[in-house]
Amino acid sequence: MKSYRQNKQKIKPLASWRRLSVVVVFTLLASALLVKTLDMQILRSEFFERQGDARQLRTVSISAHRGDIVDRNGEPFAVSAPVNSIWINPKVAKDHLDEITVVAKLLSLDAISLKDKIKRNGSREFLYLKRHASPELSEKVMALKVPGVALQNEYHRYYPSGEVAAHVIGFSDIDDNGQEGVELAFDEWLKGHPGKKRVIRDRLGRAFDDVERIKSAQPGKSLRLSLDKRLQYLTYRTLKAAVLKHNAVAGSAVVLDVKTGEVLAMVNQPSFNVNDRKQLKPQATRNRAVTDVFEPGSTMKPITIAAALESGRWKPFYKVETAPGYMRVSGNTIRDHKNYGDLDVGGVLEKSSNVGIAKIALAMDAEKQWSMYQSLGLGVTTGSGFPGEASGQLSLNALSNDFARASMAFGYGVSVTPLQLAHAYSAIAADGVLRPVSFLIDEDRGSAKVPDGKRVMSAKTAQTVRKMMQRVVSDKGTGQRASVANYSVAGKTGTVHKFIAGGYAEDRYISIFSGMVPADKPELVMVVMIDEPRNGEHYGGLVAAPVFSQVMSGAMRLLDIAPDRVSKNQLMNAGSSSQEKSITVAASHAE
């Protein structure tokens, strides 16, 4: 009993001590919490506000790539590749300006200017430092771990064909908005629509955790053009060589598919590398084949003859007296290079007689002449939808002025673009049917189906004009250098004095050739225009016609179009076995 009382007396002081300890601990904890609260809410409130802001939930954009642009065979003209852009949060970075110096040096920026910019935008949370940075540069910058500096995923537009298709494809700006060419014309189709997500960012401004996807990114739709990349390269290379050879100011070339009206190739010189943004200047980037007009010269003569035949006033075998090689019309003189004497209507084309075509035009009704020009699309755009397309000029004043009518008959006083002229010639090639011009493949149309068009002349007239145009490319014509081995060619040369302020320059010319292959059943139409050749030669038959010949020779092989003028000796040498045929086809594809 005594022992129990003694133990109980010992336990009482121990319990009191324990209670006191618990009270002290809780008091200390409460004091610590109070101190911490005072520290966070009063003493260092600004610091913790900044830290909270840096770690808060944010809604950010999810980049969506622009649709690819491909040729008719699926070969790429424009693609988008993922890339990083470096940005900074001035709200965070303004407290770490000493570290910004190193970042500025890496990005080749002026450190003082950058710091000043951060200070001036201290209330903002986003500023770009470097758009579309290389992976190596992005890695070096992020390795510095400077607060407020972060990366954003974007897409960079790349053009594999460079300058070869630059004028047609155009380009987009750094924000992926179409600026020129197809990129601009079909911007809404190609443009991607960004998504949104919620993320948590760390104190350095980097997203380290995705919380929620609000809206998925919608990539742009791909676009399939009618261009054939192989033919585009061939046309570009040949035109560039001709412009350099003749020291010309510029040049354009267009190739159309007769059956569909599709643009298979369109090139210009000088060109520019669309991947180098320093070269993106208005003077260089405009598509001359669509935006620049010129007087077509003698390439108008087949169109005038088509009008004459359609009028019923002229027949192919009618004779035209061109002697003595010149004529007076309304007080003005029209001249030929020499006195050609009497020519039939086809001979007027073959010799490219200005006197002959003027007499043909003046002998028919003025309205019928003008109506044919208008029906073939002169004076209006082709409806291709290409940005900035020019309509050219076709004046109604010519109806009441004989000299204006005569001049228009051989291509003066009327202006066209290379695309317009090719479009007009496509109707002659398509037996009198004018089909719409298109830069796109019609995905819904079967390969055997021909698109609808508008009949502008009879099939007989178109076929007759083509036969006359074949004489132009004969040994006696002005366009013999446009010939294509084993294929019939119908075409017309043109040489015009260049129009300048105050009139026409005596020593500055535009050289043109327009034609089609094969002549009997044309598959392709091509127009070549070379502006101001300055190396001595300036006639269309000497400057522009060889470009047509080289391009069409390659195009026949590339597109596997059968020859229509193979000689008997060639047929005997070629043989008729299936093995030899397969070798020929394989060789044509290899080229």
Three-state secondary structure along 163-188?
A: HHCHHHHCEECCCCCEEEHHHHHCHH
Site of tokens 């089909």 = 435
Span(s) in the chain for CATH 3.90.1310.10? 58-224
Amino acid at 387: P
Conformational region of residue 236, where left means phi above 0, alpha means psi within -120 to 50, and beta covers everything else: alpha
Question: Is the domain 246-566 a CATH 3.40.710.10 member?
Answer: yes
CA distances from 158 to 68, 226, 279 (A): 10, 20, 15
Cis peptide before 316 (omega within 30 of 0): no
Integer Cα distance of 424 and 413 in angstroms: 17
* Whole-number pLDDT of residue 53: 52
Question: Under CATH, domain 58-224 is a member of which superfamily?
Answer: Penicillin-binding protein 2a (Domain 2) (3.90.1310.10)
* Whole-number pLDDT of residue 581: 38
For 336-374, the pLDDT digits (tens) are 989 999 999 999 999 999 999 999 999 999 999 999 999
For 516-553, the pLDDT digits (tens) are 999 999 999 999 999 999 998 999 999 999 999 999 99
- 298 in active site: yes
Could you tell me which residues come within 8 angstroms of residue 422 by beta carbon, excluding any fewer than 6 positions away?
A: 254, 255, 256, 514, 525, 526, 527
Digits of tens for pLDDT over the chain (591 positions)?
Answer: 555 555 555 555 656 767 777 777 778 777 777 776 766 666 666 665 555 555 565 666 667 889 999 999 999 999 998 888 888 888 888 888 888 888 888 888 888 888 888 888 888 878 888 888 888 998 888 888 888 888 888 888 999 999 999 999 999 988 889 999 999 999 999 988 776 666 566 555 555 555 556 667 788 899 999 999 999 999 999 999 999 999 999 999 999 999 999 999 999 999 999 888 788 777 788 899 999 999 999 999 999 999 999 999 999 999 999 999 999 999 999 999 899 999 999 999 999 999 999 999 999 999 999 999 999 999 999 999 999 999 999 988 878 889 999 999 999 999 999 999 999 999 999 999 999 999 998 876 655 567 789 999 999 999 999 999 999 999 989 999 999 999 999 999 999 999 887 788 888 999 999 999 999 999 999 999 999 999 989 999 999 999 999 999 999 999 999 998 875 555 455 454 444 333 333 333 333
* Whole-number pLDDT of residue 434: 96
In terms of Cβ atoms closer than 10 Å to its own Cβ (0-12, 13-18, 19+), residue 421 is: buried
Could you tell me which residues come within 8 angstroms of residue 86 by beta carbon, excluding any fewer than 6 positions away?
A: 107, 128, 129, 130, 133, 137, 138, 141, 149, 150, 151, 152
Q: In what order do the strands lie in the sheet with 207-215?
A: 57-62, 195-201, 207-215
* Whole-number pLDDT of residue 585: 30
Closest by CA position to 144, among listed 171, 104, 181: 104
* Whole-number pLDDT of residue 89: 85
CA distances from 332 to 329, 394, 404, 503 (A): 5, 21, 10, 15
Buried b (16+ CB within 10 A) or exposed e, 235-272: bbebbbebbeebebbebbbbbbbbbbbbbbbbbbbebb
Strand partners, 500: 503
* Whole-number pLDDT of residue 589: 31
The DSSP annotation for 237-283 comes to HHHHHHHHHTT-SEEEEEEEETTT-BEEEEEEES---TT-GGG--HH
Site of tokens 């809206």 = 215
* Whole-number pLDDT of residue 400: 83
* Whole-number pLDDT of residue 227: 97
Annotated catalytic residue, options 80, 172, 252, 298: 298
Integer Cα distance of 468 and 317 in angstroms: 11
State the sign of the Cα–Cα–Cα–Cα dihedral 565, 571, 574, 575: positive
* Whole-number pLDDT of residue 43: 61
Cis peptide before 324 (omega within 30 of 0): yes
Site of tokens 């669509």 = 290
For 420-442, the pLDDT digits (tens) are 999 999 999 999 999 999 999 88
SS3 85: strand
* Whole-number pLDDT of residue 96: 82
Span(s) in the chain for CATH 3.40.710.10? 246-566
Closest by CA position to 389, among listed 421, 424, 420, 422: 420
Work out the number of other CB atoms within 10 angstroms of the CB of residue 316: 15
